[in-house]
Structure 1
């Protein structure tokens, strides 16, 4: 049951990780079909700008695009390229303006529709983005990037059959595209066919090329195959590349426990598990390691945390190696109690980078840490124009509640659960609110979905589901959940 939770969470995120993290050159938004006569010089300039962006030479790319703009200022391809450059440079809000300009110039311009679809997915969720992907596909039915991203979004919406159909369309349009076997591998893994998933993943060669989503899938398959050491090695490299990725870090901790590398697990994650930000799941993993090492006194408080009530208030995160400097500095200032310093740092950064959603979100964190939820909401709202991941939604909902608008907080949770169906924590929080008003039918429905995502290790969740079954008069369900609760309820640990 411990593995099922983390593996299910990892698999539910795999497709979107591919789409957001990029698939090397394959995930690039391709140049569209010509919308009018353009010179070869203009085409070459766009290609040169694309190369410069790929190499991280953003200033050179900007200079090249300025030159291209002087030749064809109303070409949609130009504005898609400008939008991509702005995204690379962290100017998220002006990137949105650029892609909207491209669509104004070419309403059926496929690359602009694709980029807009991806932005809608980031800001409003997979379900809202589907209509944009469908429109992009109608504009260019055989575009591999459109088909791959559409398939990814369908999978993230829980539409496995539709995803498979889109992957097949991608296979017909681009038989040699490595995303075809990779997306098939994701579908196979989600269906529990891990041997098939391994074969397809190897065929894609994407894990060998270091694509993060493929590395994550490789680790999940290795765990299922009983090769926890291999999974830990893969996840170690991925965690170094993505130090803020909580899911990767927790899966690494699980792999270490599965490999019986208990001392290494305690040494690596012991201090982290004691932090307020640590998840109940990480606390449980550390508790199990301490138990196997014979240190029941160290395991007891961790188990108490793991099986206690879910924390709803935000916690100040610790600075981590590899984080962007401004993020690390703001976290350090807040943890040191230097609230004014954190606010000053983020305000200066926001003045310098007003179009960055990341900076807006960071400024909201500093304002929330300073006890100003209303100002934090304004910053979070700005960030959410571009993307609204679950952590941002959760902080916004908490700030709304603290500002006296609990109804808006609940509506935001409902919207998130509707658009992003794979977030077990969001489902559980919303279920608790439904239970609070006595709506046990909706409570049961939400919790059943969370359990399907692998959240069955949580006694608080199972206890609430038991209450829902009892309130609904379902004796058989009540008996089943009582048995499940008895299985995961921690035994009493006497401190030595």
Structure 2
């Protein structure tokens, strides 16, 4: 199988968003908690339960009542921040989190919330000091240890993650996240039978926790149970239709379970879009090959081998998107930027604190040829989150504005914050290669290869150029051979 993406790649970011999986906030009793009125405790607990049930309006009423009794309680403002974030009011959620820290600078849940916000906006490495501050404030804070362990794992610090999981075991041996996090470590180490046992012990997949379900699917793929993986992934994709990694995993599961016709029907139309990933295109091509249709497979194989465009695609169309979002994307894709901008202006007035709306507004502005206005919209969103797709759009906007220095700075910071993001590593290596700094480029590419990206023809071609430029003939021969292996010999039918 050529152009393979290792199953382990599906483990990326499995540990995130674990807060709230326990039955309480996992913190010890602080001076803030001891001073809290029983009525406020009841209201905060009721609000948490309402949020967990998706009853956000009811949770809001409970928090309004608590605010009337204890307006300066940091726990109240942590809860308000959580509610606002759940409701899509991302920017005002940050304001509430800041208020919680102002009222309780050593309050562990407030520090933990800031840690998770920093993680989303600035990457794993930048968030670690905030997690450590929360744990210094309460060394027995189990939510803190769980999220700290997860973040260490996603930052590529497997050894430190293991130590944090051991500490969580000491603090809360019955916490479901202990076997879950152990399962993540086992799966990343290729010990899938052990990972399966630990995941079952956690019970989190049975409860429908998305990260646990994704892990369940990855383990099933590794064990050869592609049918089971596909069932799980179909449910996850229905809940998160824009999640590219889940969509790729689903396509892989469908192919391996012999459902090539369904794969073609579902993902085939996307292969004609600029935003289609080379990996997804390759899977569709192999589905055509699976049914003996080399005529349809050949051009897709050729396209996939050329690799992805370096420029991100804005306003990508996806099934299952909300109507206002879909309308703006459809208008932009058709070149009707006036309608797209009017739609986004109306949406922005309705949801002024939404980071998602800010990203979509930036997409419309960038697509309409106004990169400076797009930067303003994207910058609002980056106060809340900065995933790789958004970072790529920011870099395109900076490049279109003639600000190459900001492109380099943003890319370096993204790699520092997410050192195991193979796509970001390759992009930075390309920048170094363009400047002739092949030593740094080679180091980045070697790390990407170690992460499982060594079947990407674009990466191998760049690594070959690095070896040639560095006068490393042995490496050059090795990467030339690897590049020949991943390129199919025949792209046309005979």
TM range (shorter): over 0.9
Going from structure 1 to structure 2, the CA distance change for 1:2 and 1:167 (only over 3 Å counts) comes to farther
Shift of 1:290: 1.4
Among candidates 37, 43, 46, match of residue 44 of structure 2: 46
Q: Is the 8 A contact 1:443 1:468 kept in 2?
A: yes
Q: Deviations over 1:135-179 (max 9, x none)?
A: 000111111111100000010111101101111111111111111
Distance in 2, matches of 1:482 and 1:395, equals 32
Going from structure 1 to structure 2, the CA distance change for 1:53 and 1:120 (only over 3 Å counts) comes to same
Shift of 1:336: 2.5
- For 2:7, the equivalent position in structure 1 comes to 7
Going from structure 1 to structure 2, the CA distance change for 1:226 and 1:23 (only over 3 Å counts) comes to farther
- For 1:289, the equivalent position in structure 2 comes to 287
Distance in 1, matches of 2:288 and 2:53, equals 46
Distance in 2, matches of 1:463 and 1:197, equals 35
Going from structure 1 to structure 2, the CA distance change for 1:271 and 1:151 (only over 3 Å counts) comes to same
Shift of 1:490: 2.1
Q: Deviations over 1:281-304 (max 9, x none)?
A: 011111112123221121111111
The equivalences for 1:228-267 within 5 A come to 228-267=226-265
The reply on whether 1:430 has 2:428 as its aligned counterpart is yes
Shift of 1:23: 5.7
**Which stretch has the larger CA shift, 288-297 or 155-164?**
288-297
Distance in 1, matches of 2:3 and 2:26, equals 36
Among candidates 317, 333, 336, match of residue 334 of structure 2: 336
Distance in 1, matches of 2:286 and 2:317, equals 26
Q: Flag structure 2 segments of 5+ consecutive residues without an equivalent.
A: none
- For 2:455, the equivalent position in structure 1 comes to 457
**Which stretch has the larger CA shift, 270-279 or 59-68?**
59-68
The reply on whether 1:377 has 2:375 as its aligned counterpart is yes
- For 1:323, the equivalent position in structure 2 comes to 321
- Say which SS state the counterpart of residue 158 (structure 1) adopts: coil
The reply on whether 1:362 has 2:364 as its aligned counterpart is no
- For 1:174, the equivalent position in structure 2 comes to 172
Shift of 1:486: 1.2
Shift of 1:2: 5.6
Q: Deviations over 1:285-342 (max 9, x none)?
A: 1111212322112111111110114302232445434323332221122122221111
Distance in 2, matches of 1:218 and 1:123, equals 28
The reply on whether 1:109 has 2:107 as its aligned counterpart is yes
- For 2:124, the equivalent position in structure 1 comes to 126
Distance in 1, matches of 2:449 and 2:268, equals 28
TM-score, normalised by the number of residues in structure 1: 0.95
**Which stretch has the larger CA shift, 4-13 or 339-348?**
4-13
Aligned residues, how many?
A: 493
Going from structure 1 to structure 2, the CA distance change for 1:56 and 1:28 (only over 3 Å counts) comes to farther
Q: Is the 8 A contact 1:32 1:111 kept in 2?
A: no
Distance in 1, matches of 2:338 and 2:420, equals 37
Q: Deviations over 1:2-48 (max 9, x none)?
A: 686242321122112x43xx664559686963426232111111112
TM-score, normalised by the number of residues in structure 2: 0.96
**Which stretch has the larger CA shift, 76-85 or 255-264?**
255-264
Q: Is the 8 A contact 1:29 1:114 kept in 2?
A: no
Going from structure 1 to structure 2, the CA distance change for 1:3 and 1:491 (only over 3 Å counts) comes to closer
**Which stretch has the larger CA shift, 355-364 or 392-401?**
355-364
Distance in 1, matches of 2:424 and 2:316, equals 23
The equivalences for 1:192-231 within 5 A come to 192-231=190-229
Distance in 2, matches of 1:263 and 1:252, equals 14
Distance in 2, matches of 1:130 and 1:26, equals 24
Distance in 2, matches of 1:245 and 1:28, equals 28
Distance in 2, matches of 1:154 and 1:206, equals 20
Shift of 1:418: 0.6
RMSD of the TM alignment (CA)?
1.9
Distance in 2, matches of 1:4 and 1:216, equals 19
Q: Deviations over 1:164-220 (max 9, x none)?
A: 111111111111111101100110111111111111111112112211111111111
- For 2:390, the equivalent position in structure 1 comes to 392
- For 2:479, the equivalent position in structure 1 comes to 481
Distance in 2, matches of 1:355 and 1:101, equals 17
- Say which SS state the counterpart of residue 102 (structure 2) adopts: helix
Among candidates 443, 446, 456, match of residue 445 of structure 1: 443
Going from structure 1 to structure 2, the CA distance change for 1:37 and 1:27 (only over 3 Å counts) comes to closer
- Say which SS state the counterpart of residue 139 (structure 2) adopts: coil
- For 1:351, the equivalent position in structure 2 comes to 349
Shift of 1:261: 2.3
Distance in 1, matches of 2:306 and 2:429, equals 17
Among candidates 77, 80, 90, match of residue 79 of structure 1: 77
Shift of 1:53: 1.8
Q: Flag structure 1 segments of 5+ consecutive residues without an equivalent.
A: none
